[in-house]
Structure formats: structure tokens, C-alpha cells
Structure 1
Amino acid sequence: MSAETDMIKLYSGRILALAADMPRTARLVNPTATAKKRSPLCGSTVTVDIVVKDGVITEYGQDVKACALGQAAAAVVGGNIIGLKRDQVQSGRDQLVAMLKNDGAVPDAPFSDLEVLQPAKDYKNRHASILLAFDATLAALEDSTASA
């Protein structure tokens, strides 16, 4: 398979559709916590605002400046994050890492749509961007518990 064919496969219509229709792109006015994460390799950034009540994410906003792969991952995270607790977010991230780096299974629901990113496992330089939404969310959750 040629490199051009590989890139076409990597940036599938489904990935581009997720990137184009990202939910929760408005920043929150009064978040419980905010975190920004940046991929040093490509410069992608994700800033996440959350409101947490009783350990559960009740509001979520994100500002995503990333490649289509990072945007697609942020779209899946943003579309499924409300109602989750820290351990569920961590589990989703861990499963995504296993899928990308260790040929692991697709993440469980509510993050099973991350399956679309399976072709990215062969592009290690894209992994950090794909993980940014999870990393920023987990950092914000950490800040929210530290300040509680």
C-alpha cells in the first residue's frame, strides 16, 4: 500500500465528519476547573473546562486546536463525557492507549466510537494529539478534586 493510500485511509470520511461536528466547543463561564494540554511533537492543544458535582462531570466545554485525528477524538470525548466520573474517563483513556499502542480492543462504551481511530495506531507521531482531550479532561478533574 502506498503512503498516499495509507493517509487517505487514516483520514477517513468518518474521522473528518467527527472533526467537523465536534460537540461542546463553547468554553464554560464558571467552570469548576480548566486544564490545557499541548502535544510537543505537533503543537496541537486542547483546553477543557468542566463543572463537577459529587464527582460527576455535569458540564463540559472544549477548545480544540488539533489535527483531524485529535479533533475526532475530542468529538467522541465531548459527546460522551457528561455524567462520567474520573475512573470512567481514565478507563477510556487507558483503553484508547492500549488500542493505539498495543493493538488492544476498541474502548468500551461510551467511548466505543474511538474505533474510528484504529488506523492511527501505525502513526505514533499522532498518538499524543489523539490523547489530548482525555489528558486535559483528567487534568481538569485532578484540579477540581484538589480545590474541593
Structure 2
Amino acid sequence: MSAPLYNKDILRLAATIPHHQRLPDAQASVEKRSPTCGSRVTADVRMEGGKLTALGLDVKACALGQASASLMAAQAIGMTADELADARDKLAAYLSGQSDDLDFWPGLTILAPARGYPARHASIRLGFEAIAEAARIADA
């Protein structure tokens, strides 16, 4: 692996998470936690017309988990619950080696060096998992 696991771009993303504030009037809230490292992401969402219209996050995770949540949050507004679930599933497939595709979500190539560190995968998936599940619940 030639790229460092933690670099200035990952740290910059980790420090600039969009929607990094809980929603007081969420239709659904989901907390996901990594049993491996204790990282935690809570996602609050509002859906309207089948699309995500508001998002609030509380992220307590390592820099990789924060960076991943930042990437998810930057693009999630306006997406359907199915689109968010598809992104979650594609990220899991990439991290597990079942796919080499990272083109499904803008900016994910920055996390490519973490693929070789399975202990970090749960934290990286948290933001995608929490937002997708909260959107599904709110859309039901």
C-alpha cells in the first residue's frame, strides 16, 4: 500500500462534516456503533416526496469514520432511501473486496488505502449505514 492511511485530505474531511448537528424535528433517528473500536454515528433525517430533505449527524468516530460520514453527508440530500441503501451496499462490497468500484459516490477514492485495514471498515461504514437506515424508516 503506497498511500498513507491517514493523510491531510482525510483529516480535512473529518474536520468538516456537513450537517453536523442533530435535527430537533427528525422523522427518524438511527445510531450505529462499531463494536470493534466504539465509533458511533447518529443520523437524524426528514424525508419529503420520497427524498431526503434534511439531515443531522452526531459523529463520534476515528478520522476515517468521520471522513466517510462527511462524504456521505455532502451528497445525501435529495436522494431516495433506495439510492442511499445502494450506496451503503456498494461501500460494503468495496471494503470487503467483492467489488473494485468506487465511482458510485463522489470522493470515496480518498478512503481506498483503508481497504487493506479490515479493523477500520466498520467505522467507515457507519455514516452510510445510519443515514440509509434512517431514510428507510422515515420513508416507510
Q: Please state which band the TM-score falls in when normalised by the shorter chain.
A: over 0.9
User: Separation in 2 of the partners of 1:71 and 1:131?
Assistant: 10
Q: Please say if residues 95 and 104 of structure 1, whose CA atoms lie closer than 8 Å, have aligned partners that are also in contact.
A: no
1:116 aligns with 2:123: no
1:95 aligns with 2:82: no
Cα drift, residue 36 of structure 1:
0.4
User: Separation in 2 of the partners of 1:107 and 1:46?
Assistant: 24
Cα drift, residue 143 of structure 1:
2.0
* 1:7-86 matched pairs, under 5 angstroms: 9-86=4-81
Q: Please say if residues 38 and 44 of structure 1, whose CA atoms lie closer than 8 Å, have aligned partners that are also in contact.
A: yes
Cα drift, residue 100 of structure 1:
1.6
Q: Which has the higher helix share?
A: 1
Cα drift, residue 115 of structure 1:
1.1
User: Separation in 2 of the partners of 1:12 and 1:130?
Assistant: 15
Q: Give the residue type in structure 2 aligned to 1:76.
A: L
* Unmatched segments (≥5 aa) in structure 1: none
> Structure 2 residue aligned with 1:127, among 121, 125, 130?
121
Q: Specify the SS of the correspondent of 1:40.
A: coil
User: How many pairs are equivalent?
Assistant: 139
User: Separation in 2 of the partners of 1:73 and 1:114?
Assistant: 8
User: Separation in 1 of the partners of 2:119 and 2:33?
Assistant: 13
> Structure 2 residue aligned with 1:106, among 88, 102, 108?
102
The TM-score, its normalising length taken from structure 1, stands at 0.88
* Unmatched segments (≥5 aa) in structure 2: none
User: Separation in 2 of the partners of 1:75 and 1:137?
Assistant: 12
Superimposed CA distance per residue, residues 15-51 of structure 1 (whole angstroms, 9 cap, x where no aligned partner): 1110011111011110111010100111000000000
Task: Give 2:137's aligned residue.
Answer: 143
- Superposition RMSD on alpha carbons, in Å? 1.6
| 4+ runs deviating over 3 angstroms | none
Q: Give the residue type in structure 1 aligned to 2:70.
A: A
User: Separation in 2 of the partners of 1:138 and 1:112?
Assistant: 17
- The share of aligned pairs that are identical, in percent, is 42
